[in-house]
Structure 1
């Protein structure tokens, strides 16, 4: 399905060579020269260790019929004289400009989602539910930065009706860049945690950075925020907004949350909903979705049907049963203290005779690391039986827990995954649940893979 043509590209990038003004159709946009495509526009990206311009020959071999090209790079001799090259100052900035223009061309409703935790899960909820009525396109995986977001836009099909974009960041100014490309009709801030506090200084700094999402919000746009977070009160008061949470003063109040081993049920506006994922935090993520769906005209039956069908992106509270009958909970995609506490609270609600935590380091906390790790111990108490940690920083959780629980919970710290795996093998039996949670860099899924071989 054609996205645009070379002569449309020439209107955006008027410095070019090759046969451009004949309307050659572009069906795909890609940055990876190894990817096989059909009538593709190749966008070479320059990184610290690579330069996509060096791989144009591979891109052409794999289906590129045009490319953006940095003005300061010589054109290779093998490029045919009729091959369209659009010369730009910076290929990433050009890709962002192209994504903005293509989004305006397709004109989908845009939903932008940011937050310290829960943005990927909320994206999955929103995409699945809105797909009951609309042709939707969403961020794949974690394509949520200054390259991934414009690429997501450029890969959507021209018949897309709703575009759901996740926005991540490490530093001030990054969300502002993304939201101005996305220009959302509905913007969400799912919560404020401690992620990237090393760069942003404080939770207030994190809230300020997340709140940049309103910089691109349409004039008649709607902002949805975690209403249980006081740090978001200020931005909520400045825009048309709904506050969502469990506190009774919210616009949408989540009540009567119940968690089983299979689902979470909760009440919003006198209506009970069920979701096949676990946790009070998941009820909040789902409510962001419910409010959005109602705003876009879905009825209750469509919303309920979509919520039941949701499949979360991998390693987000993923339940795996071993041959010994043990449930391993793979929540190892990433971690902050907030998300770690939420996952631990879910484990406490689940039905099992033994409950074991395997917690890895939370990274990028800088000078706050010791205090934030110690805070995780606040929610660890029976029915949790055992806490194992992996890494240096997470030892602080054990220190705080031993001070608080005085030995009621067994604790051990590991610096070797091999030793941890060996120890966990002896714990595998029916009626045991083991939670794995840690920052992406800790790669706790490698432990899970060994236990499930």
Structure 2
């Protein structure tokens, strides 16, 4: 965050000072980071007091100041220097704020989040005036993978700030904005939605000059009601870009291509289709670990590209990242070189680990919707049959959440697809109608005997895997985060990891709840 006094912060957010005089507030400057986890506070930082499932951040204010924070943004006085905003009366009829405020019984969380948004908006506007480029990304799936690719291709051009994991909602979005400083050249932001208007609200906090729309799928179909409403909500991002900006659209998705008519900005079309495109790929092939290679056509040059990420679906993500970098001044050759080394970064998203015993684990357990589930299964099928292992394929699948009335049909389709792709073993984790539908779909499509196995929980699934996996086998672990399969994937990786160190230990990203507030809730995409 740019240096700012507590007095100035109070002025921006419309708060009042508590436990600090006006004179001291003017002299007390926030020079560190803004944090909602008291254990992550840095010297000179600002602590956000938010309510959580197990505790209230207000109770950790003194701890945060003792750890180095110079002040707190809170909804009540906390006994240490603070900017206090009045609680907002909760509206029982209003939907939750992207899952952040389930425990906000008195409106304190809503007040702090609103103040955080105002602070982030002021900082973003000041940094943009100084030359910062803001890139916004949305889509039903692929946002986090694409965000990581964009950060990688922009890194040779300047300093990049991007969110860790999927910090893409009313908490994670402004939190990421406030990581930017005067030395930041590019700010990359994910934008998720659970209700119409969510993306427009996020875009107002930090107006993007470059926007990327990846796809329109069925994530959160239960909350949106129809794919048309999802498309309209995703189109809020291109509508937010000013006329001087650029909107990058995946033209292979008709619903995304149609958004060209909804923006005043210049449109750049990317894809693998036959229509006239600005950035496109052809000659796509996959290696043994399903890493794509293709020829990138940019208009300026045609260059060969080999990706370090896994799955045919990553081609579209890479094309969007390439288009962003080209708009920011990169050459096609620079883009190809950056993409060649841009491996998986965010935890539990198509992380492929080759264990010492010859088992390959595809850890894609962070989240799932029908589109990303199909992509994961296709990658699994390729690695086991078309790749080098020639072993058995195992799909360990949990529930895809928030599909509403389509949940039964979509889970049935995934069970059938697993059989059509000739997946050797399907372990269906969890009870309830959706998982029964997945098992039923597999059985009706032709699975029999022990090919499709229902288990009650992750412990039962892990017991089967540990007993039956053998060298050459490939295991995909995938579900919505609420199914808890991430721990199962971590256990599989750490059982026998290359060099004795798992990817989980390497990446250092934690989803563990901190002070009652976990990583900002997900929006169903990868």
Normalising by structure 2, what TM-score? 0.79
Displacement, 1:248? 1.0
- The answer (yes or no) to whether the contact 1:258–1:266 under 8 Å persists in 2 is yes
Structure 1 residues 79-94: aligned runs within 5 Å: 79=80, 83=81, 85=83, 87=85, 90-94=111-115
Aligned to 1:118: 142
Q: CA contact under 8 A between 2:58 and 2:74: conserved in structure 1?
A: yes
Question: In the superposition, relative to structure 1, how do residues 13 and 362 fare at CA in structure 2: closer, same or farther (>3 Å)?
Answer: closer
Q: Which residue of 2 aligns with 1:381?
A: 420
Preserved CA contact (<8 Å) 1:10 1:20: no
- What is the root-mean-square deviation in Å for CA atoms of aligned residues? 2.4
Structure 2: which 5+ residue stretches go unaligned? 88-110, 496-526
Provide the residue aligned with 1:256 in structure 2: 283
Deviations 1:172-224 (A, max 9, x none): 22111111112001111111221111100122221122111134322312112
Equivalent pairs, count: 446
- SS class of match (1:343): helix
- How far 1:48 sits from its partner (Å)? 6.5
Q: Which has the higher strand share?
A: 1
Q: 1:88 to 1:63 in 2, by over 3 A?
A: farther
1:209 aligns with 2:233: yes
Q: Which residue of 1 aligns with 2:315?
A: 283
State the partner residue of 1:344: 377
8 Å Cα contact 1:261/1:278 also seen in 2: no
Cα 1:290–1:233, aligned 2, differ >3 Å: closer, same or farther?
Answer: closer
Q: Partner of 1:129 in structure 2?
A: 153
Which SS does the other structure have where 1:155 is aligned?
Answer: coil
Q: Structure 1 residues 189, 65: CA separation in 2 closer, same or farther (over 3 Å shift)? A: same
TM-score normalised over the length of structure 1: 0.91
CA distance in 2: counterparts of 1:7 and 1:345, whole angstroms:
55
Q: Is the contact between residue 68 and residue 88 of structure 1 (CA under 8 Å) also seen in structure 2?
A: no
The equivalent of 2:29 in structure 1 is: 25
CA contact (8 A) 2:41 2:47 kept: no
| Structure 1 unaligned blocks of 5 or more | none
Q: Structure 1 CA distance, aligned partners of 2:167 and 2:141?
A: 15
For the pair 1:410 / 2:451, whether they are aligned, the reply is yes
- Aligned partners of 2:437 and 2:465: how far apart in 1? 21
Matching residue of 2:295: 267
Q: Tell me whether 1:147 sits opposite 2:171 in the alignment.
A: yes
1:355 aligns with 2:366: no
Aligned counterpart, 1:426: 467
Give, in whole Å, the separation in 2 of the partners of 1:253 and 1:282.
Answer: 13
1:240-262 CA-partner distances (Å, limit 9, x unpaired) = 32232222115233222111124
Aligned equivalents of 2:478 and 2:189: distance in 1?
25
Distance 1:274 1:367, change over 3 A: same
1:246 aligns with 2:235: no
- Tell me which of the two structures has the higher relative contact order, counting C-alpha pairs closer than 8 angstroms and 6 or more residues apart: 2
